[in-house]
Structure 1
Amino acid sequence: MSPAARKTVVLVGDRRLALTNTDKVLYPETGTTKGRVIEYYERVAPWMIPHVKDRPVTRKRWANGVGGKVFFEKNLPDSAPDWVRHHTIHHTEHDNEYPIVDDLPTLVWMAQQAALELHVPQWRFGPRGAQQNPDRLVLDLDPGEGVGLPECVEVALAAREILHGMGLHPYPVTSGSKGIHLYAALDGRSTTAHVSDVAHELAKALETDLPDLVLSSMSRAERTGKVFVDWSQNNGNKTTIAPYSLRGRDRPTVAAPRTWAELEEKGLAQLTLDEVLERLEARGDFLHPVASASLAVGRDDHGHWDSDRTERANDAEQPARDRLAAYRAKRDASKTPEPVPAGAPTVRKDGTPTFVIQEHHATRDHYDFRLEHDGVLVSWALPKGEPTDPGKNHLAVQTEDHPLEYGSFEGTIPHDEYGGGTVTLWDDGTYELEKWREGQEVIVTLHGRAGGVRRLALLHTRGRGGGDEKNWLIHRTKEQPDRAADGGGAPADRQGDASRDGAVAGHRDGRRRITGAAAADTPPSDRRTMQATAASGTPRLDPADWAFEMKWDGVRALATVRDGSVTLRSRNDNDLTAQYPELQELAERAGVDGVFDGEVVAVDERGRPSFQLLQNRMGLTKAREVRAAQETTPVRFLLFDVLEADGHELTRLGYDARRQALTTVVEPGGAIDVPPAVSGDLDAVMAASREQGLEGVVAKKRSSRYAEGRRSEAWLKLKHHAAQEVVVGGWRPGNGRRAGGVGSLLLGVPGPGGLQYVGRVGTGFRDRDLDEIAAVLRPLARTTSPFVDVPGVDARDAQWVTPKLVGEVEFAEWTGEGRLRQASWRGWRPDKDPEDVTREP
């Protein structure tokens, strides 16, 4: 054994630690050895540990030095000393045991493992191992190609102004890599989802203020010449390089706290370990205010954990745990009609939060009040309903979190099941959040379809007077919005709801019309389509509870009829009106104003919808081209739902009532049709669909309301052939008759780390398709791959493009590596945006 490899046992604090290979060079460019790295971490520990204390640590190890293989480690290895503190984080499919760095021996042990980089989240573990709310906000200013620290400084100064306006005090850290991090202390009262949303809005505000310099979207393709404001590191599952951590770069640079005055000096550069130690010993930790404030979160005035507050924080959003576990444990999906999602909930990144009030005739009749928050419906049972008198509070008993899909649920739960009884929708809509103090107080302004606008407060009693810890009080505040009078009463003082009846009455021209429904108040421009969830296999669905419709192979569209004219908008809100002028016929066929949901299709000579044929009509903008295409490829509009008719809001009606309304007001004919739902069990309907050469079947729960802008398990899509929407990120040149043009397309699906490569497609094209594809892709050319993991063999002669376009392929199956097997091109999907694309089962 060489002297350098000889083991040396040293005493670090009160722990004995074996150090090996201390002469090994870990930074070849500067000759910095492992022994020097260990010395650095030993000296920097007093300033670094407060920033990482009680946080799970992810390590990047360079056992053979930078430039060599890097090991990314989350789990604590079996070889770790038994005195290293650790906590378990439960993920959906596995658990990870993370080490905690709260003392010098642990930090030195990590340095001995050549763990140069230490990464931590913005939250800490509580005293019993539960994840707390974040105690700091971070923005990562990441310069793209062509920009550097000077541009990051410009963005940092602009961000400082915004943060100061929010009452936050940011502190800069040069990242040790390319950019700058900004930290601001938080009081621990906001969930990770809320903090992440705030950071995202801040990034978008910076992009608006500095459009030529700032990028807030995650797209790597657009980062050249801009500073990407990475807000996502506030997500509870993400980490950031820890302050004072080394970086695995050519030189031993450090994530180093700086002053704002330094940032504005010329020649700003990343600092090395020697420079950082010299500054610390002379001037101290510039980031100390953030560490000091964050360590105080969850503790009382004496520095001890406040158990009440800690327990409340434990109930906040925890991405590492499944907030629907309690809900799922009480229900058997095979016995209850309620939605029982298999996976953990995910937080919606856009849209206004929703609420729902449901009437529940169970063992004890009550109302259920639910607010969308952190990916679930936080729920309270209201035995006496919603209060209408500010002078009288009502009891609200908090129950388990419910899935978002429950917001559209109506039906009868078997009496021998949990919550047995009938559930009906009473009021629903959106809400404005004024205050959400986890486990303490919630203040919201509801915008209900039936109950109108009103301001409510929920106050936790915390078991006072011997009461149950689940008990809250719900209070109608004295101060009410001016618009409250516009909406009707609250559920507690209404004895009926005509909007549920969907009555049909005579129309002056002999056609029947809708009466008794609530007045529509949603602007057509705010309407969004309800999305179906892809079913796994062929589920057992009772035709008494589910309706079955054929799945039409076309383009989804919402049609708004106003004053005799029709406006068509795609799922991603593109205006399709000019592309399909023949669909103006809907105004005459409907007879009343309304908003209708359907599919635009082109049919082949056998009368079957053909998505490839419809490609001839997509993207045309010139009137002459559209007229010519009408002659060769006429289209039809197949209606299957109605959101509004004759001034009445219908989205909160059940499926059957909406279908009755649709057939009531629309007279099929010409280019407009209302295909009927198909009778029979699902197997028979699927067989009929296959015989007719159709794409598949959509199953729709009869009790479900129309959940605008959401993907719901109340609608299930079942396809005969596997199909996948894909984002095009490049192409490879062809051979033979395709020489000089496009031979195949390189495809991706957005994933957690960026655009995940899913394979190539080179079949299913017509020759003219390839010519058109080449013309479409040419303006999007770029020099770098937009994918995070494209293999070298596919990248060898690839021509890369900015990933802005979505297409669709059929394929045989997914491989174990996440690639599409036997993919065949179906066509472009201009009605979809890249961020809408998700991997199908």
Structure 2
Amino acid sequence: MAPGSAQQTVTVDGRRLKLTSLDRVMYPETGTTKADVLAYYAAVADCLIPHARNRPVTRKRWVNGVGTEEKPGEVFFQKNLDKSAPSWIERHGIEHSDHTNVYPMLNNLATLTWLGQISALEIHVPQWQFGPEGELNNPDRMVLDLDPGPGASLPECAEVARLAREILNDMGLDPRPVTSGSKGIHLYAALNREQTSDQVSAVAKELARILEADHPDLVVSDMKKSLRGGKVLLDWSQNNRNKTTITPYSLRGKAHPMVAAPRTWEELDDPDLAHLDFEQVIERIREHGDLLADMDRGQAGLEPMSSNLQHNDDGGPDRLHTYRSMRDASKTPEPVPDAVGEPGGNSFVIQEHHARRLHYDFRLERDGVLVSWAIPKGPPTSTGENHLAVQTEDHPLDYGSFEGTIPKGEYGAGEVYIWDSGTYEAEKWRPGKEVICTLQGREDGGLAKGGNAVRRFALIHTGGSTDSAEKNWLIHLMKEQPGQPSPPAFTVRPTEELPTLKPMLATSGSPGLLRSEEDWAFEMKWDGIRAVATVTPEGTRLLSRNGNDLTKAYPELADLGSYVNAEQAVLDGEIVVINKAGRPDFGLLQGRMNLTKKSDIDAARRRTPVHFLLFDLLHLDGNSLLDLGYTQRREVLEQAVDAPGDGHIQVPPALDATLDEAIDASKQLGLEGIMAKRVNSTYSPGRRSESWVKIKHSLTQEVVVVGWRPGKGSRAHKVGSLLVAIPDGVDLKYIGRVGSGLTERELAEIGSRLKKMGRKTAPLDDVPAPDASDARWVRPALVGEVQFSERTSTGKLRHPVWRGWRPDKKPSDVVVEI
């Protein structure tokens, strides 16, 4: 490329590409331009491409450069292949439950050049490849990400890398180090594709835990920031099928153009080990070539990680090997048996453990071991309490009778007492998800102090895929207890500042997506505005899904706290207007939106009162309920709210019906559709989740207004129709124009606002000439909703009818509805 040239057309691998903005500075602190980036990728292509070949490529793009440390540039994280991408780029799709993502594959220099042209500085890929027909193969490599916490750096990462290398070598693997170009080190080891991603992840996770147990002052396998000071996080999760790692030789979007650079083991011994920039990497390739070039020769399967571990009959580690690795039988009085016990028993023990902090160890006998949780606050004594329960390693059956002192310096040092023990009956046991059991304790035990030695508990996994989240459960005292009345529903707790939470969002779907009805609960879908309500002794506050304060706009809901049996609560629900037929009416609700003057609000309130339909409870008197399953949250919600007789505050019941019955009931009532929610789904604030699915009877789509066309005749200078679009990656995609359903009053009211938002050019480039001929363009900031009959083959809407404005949503909230 000619120096200083801002634009060129080049031929790469027989493909013509137009390269633009070559003089744009991508790394301001070093003056590195887009032309320099393209030249770097051309220089390293023969080394980089083999490590990305036939893998789905996720891109991180800095279109205007990375900026500086003080003012970072805007970055776009992109999975789907742009529709404007050259047709010759190889690609494959990955199907999800409700959509398919199409990814490019980086198999040649032309594609790498195109990635540089669109400013995709970082190239991320998973540990598996597509097969010839697009099938997802088993992983051909394992990756360990060594990430230094505060107070640690590359030398500590190098030390952990050497420790991991010893174990991996014992497994027959040949790991290779790569300094990540960011903070830490990646270790790559080639595999023979005989194991699934889940199996590889399990081995990597166990390796991380063993290193953590052997080197607790250096290694941590838990991502929780509070545990990482001075230590190296051994992140095993990069082996998950859905996770990606930056490709060796990829640039990084840091202030300096650093690179994920393969290194030698000798280099890791250098106390001055440092990350490398793109110029250093080019020089290294000239001298040494690709240090990972022969990595595939070390392909192997995954064998047991250490020969000194106890094994089960199949040769693999048994369920007590983690327990043994954390204890020295010569230093602690705890039992350290050679093998697991005989299966079939049903004992339990709860131990009071005075370690660094007092906690209670809750252990249930299962398959020859004691499955164990640590409960910081002890077993709950009220159905209104939900205590954290952190799952720990399985313990031997002999631990059920252990009391004594664990010496200082040993794992869990401190005094251990038996708080209660006995037998239990398992009502439900879903490994890793849910346990419901009834405990029969001693008459003089700790359970009996709560009123009865027989107690029914539920242990609910809180969800999440990180190592720390996998350990976290909640223990809940069930509402229905054997042989006695239910305990008090709630206890009063000191008030504390409540969190500001965004609502959890649903995905659009169809009945066919719900394969097992027993896993789902059904509610009616209410046609209104979503709101999160915070109740405190000071009053009620309402926030829309995009954070707008709705409190003053709906004063009739200010008394919500009078109907909540708690001093503090955070609730989720829908604000609706009920029409004369007794149904929510979104059109009537439009008259309550965007009012700011008190006189206007009061007049609208008298004319069109609203109702608040509550369907979830997120926080109650100092307790977060986010990690409870849907069924448990609903149970607490129904106890917590006493709805008034006039119905302006309601908790509509979940439907006791099958999927088909729920859909039919919704149609008969003239409602919009139903909501299907997984019974064990936790609440994920601000996230769109496939655990909540909205099933509508008619086709609707939220849209972004991008322009308008004037009417005809006497309306020639007024708004006649709106031009609408939906987000498509970082761009907008035109889907048609809509005039039906807009009243003369609505067109008149919106006209002056649209004219103030005017712009000279179109905010998108795919509007057909007939629609663009007399269009007036506007800044794409307003969101509305339309109903339509079907989509054309190009994605346009047929027969769209305007339903109303959505001031509660931003353009970035709009997604394609099924």
- With structure 2 as the length reference, what TM-score do the two structures score? 0.51
In 2 relative to 1, CA 390–538 (structure 1 residues): closer, same or farther, beyond 3 Å?
Answer: farther
The match for 1:469 is none
**8 Å CA contact retained: 2:127, 2:141:** no
Change (3 A) 1:758 1:368: farther
In structure 1, distance between residues paired with 2:372 and 2:732: 41
Q: Percent identity?
A: 34
SS in 2 for 1:728: strand
- Cα pair distance change 1:783/1:118, threshold 3 Å: closer
Task: Give the corresponding residue for 1:678.
Answer: 655
Q: Conserved in 2, the CA contact under 8 Å of 1:186 and 1:294?
A: no
Q: Work out whether residues 133 and 188 of structure 1, in 8 Å CA contact, stay in contact via their aligned partners in 2.
A: no
In structure 1, give the amino acid aligned to 2:695: L
Q: Which amino acid aligns with 1:608?
A: R
> CA-to-partner distance for each residue in 1:777-824, whole Å, 9 max, x for gaps?
222211222224222222222111111121111111222111112111
CA contact (8 A) 2:630 2:677 kept: yes
Shift, 1:697, TM fit: 1.2
- Displacement after TM superposition at 1:580 (Å): 0.3
Q: Does the alignment pair 1:49 with 2:49?
A: no
Partner of 2:738 in structure 1?
761
Aligned to 1:709: 686
- Return closer, same or farther for 1:634/1:779 CA change in 2, 3 Å cut-off: same
Looking at structure 1, the residues matched to 494 and 471 of structure 2 have their Cα atoms a distance apart, in angstroms, of: 13
Contact residue 570 and residue 576 of structure 1 kept, 8 A: yes
Residues 828 and 628 of structure 1, relative CA distance in 2, 3 Å threshold: same
Q: 1:632 aligns with which of 584, 587, 607?
A: 607
- 2:658 and 2:617 map into 1 onto residues whose CA distance is 25
Residue 776 to residue 48, structure 1, CA distance change in 2 (3 Å): same
Q: 1:71 to 1:764 in 2, by over 3 A?
A: closer
Match among 578, 584, 595 for residue 603 of structure 1: 578
Q: Using the alignment, how far apart are the partners of 2:605 and 2:106 within structure 1?
A: 62
Match of 1:828 among 791, 802, 805: 805
Q: Which residue of 1 aligns with 2:163?
A: none
Q: Does 1:745 align with 2:726?
A: no
1:546 — aligned with what? 520
Shift of the 190–825 alpha-carbon distance from structure 1 to 2, 3 Å rule, reads farther
Q: Equivalent residues in 2 for 1:657-668 (5 A)? A: 657-668=632-643
Q: Which residue of 2 aligns with 1:731?
A: 708
Q: Secondary structure at the match of 1:757?
A: strand
Asked if residue 72 in structure 1 is aligned to residue 86 in structure 2, the reply is: yes
Q: CA separation in 1, counterparts of 2:639 and 2:115?
A: 69
Partner of 2:591, secondary structure, is: coil
Counterparts of 1:684 and 1:623, CA distance in 2: 44
Q: 1:590 aligns with which of 557, 564, 568?
A: 564
> For residues 18 and 765 of structure 1, what CA distance do their matches in structure 2 show?
52
Aligned partners of 1:382 and 1:829: how far apart in 2? 50
Cα distance change of structure 1 residues 774 and 526 upon mapping to structure 2, 3 Å threshold? same
Query: Is the Cα contact below 8 Å between 2:617 and 2:634 reproduced in 1?
Result: yes
TM alignment of 1:306-325, pairs within 5 A: none
Alignment of 1:550-589 (within 5 A): 550-563=524-537, 565-589=539-563
Q: Which deviations, in whole Å up to 9, do the C-alpha atoms of 1:442-480 show, x marking residues without a partner? A: 8x7999786xxxxxxxxxxxxxxxxxxxxxxxxxxxxxx
1:382 Cα offset (Å): 4.8
CA distance in 2, matches of 1:703, 1:792: 51
Q: What aligned pairs does 1:641-660 form with structure 2 within 5 A after superposition? A: 641-660=616-635
In 2, distance between residues paired with 1:625 and 1:309?
Answer: 73
- Work out whether residues 125 and 244 of structure 2, in 8 Å CA contact, stay in contact via their aligned partners in 1: no
Contact conserved, 2:41 with 2:112, CA < 8 A, in 1? no
Q: Structure 1 residue 642: deviation in Å?
A: 1.4
> How is 1:319-358 mapped onto 2 (pairs within 5 angstroms)?
none
Task: Give the 3-state SS of the residue equivalent to 1:776 in structure 2.
Answer: helix
Distance 1:115 1:630 in 2: 55
Q: Answer whether contact 2:47 2:289 (CA < 8 A) is retained.
A: no
Match of 1:100 among 84, 108, 121: 108
Partner SS state of residue 577, structure 1: coil
TM-score, normalised by the number of residues in structure 1: 0.50
**Alpha carbons of structure 1 residues 806 and 127: separation in structure 2 relative to 1, 3 Å:** closer
Amino acid at match of 1:833: K
Q: Match of 1:50, as an amino acid?
A: V
Deviations 1:606-653 (A, max 9, x none): 221111111111111121111111111111111122122344333333
Counterparts of 1:105-144 in structure 2, within 5 Å, are 122-123=122-123
CA RMSD after TM alignment: 5.9
Q: 1:760 deviation in Å? A: 1.5
Q: What letter matches 2:623 in structure 1?
A: H
Q: For this pair of structures, how many residues does the alignment match?
A: 520
Q: Does 1:289 align with 2:263?
A: no
Q: 2:116, 2:516 → 1: CA distance?
A: 58
3-state SS, counterpart of residue 676 of structure 1: coil
Give the gaps of 5 or more residues in structure 1: 1-16, 28-40, 59-69, 77-87, 102-106, 136-165, 168-183, 192-234, 244-257, 260-285, 313-357, 370-378, 394-410, 434-441, 451-496
| Secondary structure, counterpart of 1:515 in structure 2 | coil
Q: Which moved more, 1:553-562 or 1:636-645?
A: 636-645
CA drift of 1:721 comes to 0.9
| DSSP 3-state at the match of 2:761 | coil
Q: Is the 8 A contact 2:618 2:625 kept in 1?
A: yes
Q: Does 1:532 find its partner at 2:506?
A: yes
Change in CA separation of 1:18 and 1:551 when aligned onto 2, cut-off 3 Å: closer
Q: CA deviation at 1:599?
A: 0.8
For residues 219-278 of structure 1, the C-alpha deviation after alignment (integer angstroms, 9 at most, x for no partner) is xxxxxxxxxxxxxxxx98999xx99xxxxxxxxxxxxxx99xxxxxxxxxxxxxxxxxxx
Q: Tell me the CA shift for residue 696 of structure 1.
A: 1.2
**One-letter identity of the residue aligned with 1:650:** L
CA contact (8 A) 1:74 1:98 kept: no
Supply the distance in 1 between the matched residues of 2:112 and 2:528 (Cα, whole angstroms). 57
Q: Residue type matched to 1:807 in 2?
A: G
CA separation of 1:413 and 1:780: change in aligned 2, threshold 3 A = farther
Conserved in 2, the CA contact under 8 Å of 1:125 and 1:131? no
**649 and 449 in structure 1: CA distance in 2 versus 1, 3 angstrom threshold:** farther
1:734 Cα deviation from its structure 2 partner: 1.6
| Aligned-residue offset at 1:287 | 5.4
* Aligned 1:605-620 pairs, distance under 5 A: 605-620=580-595
Higher alpha-carbon deviation: 605-614 or 672-681: 672-681
2:112 and 2:624 map into 1 onto residues whose CA distance is: 62
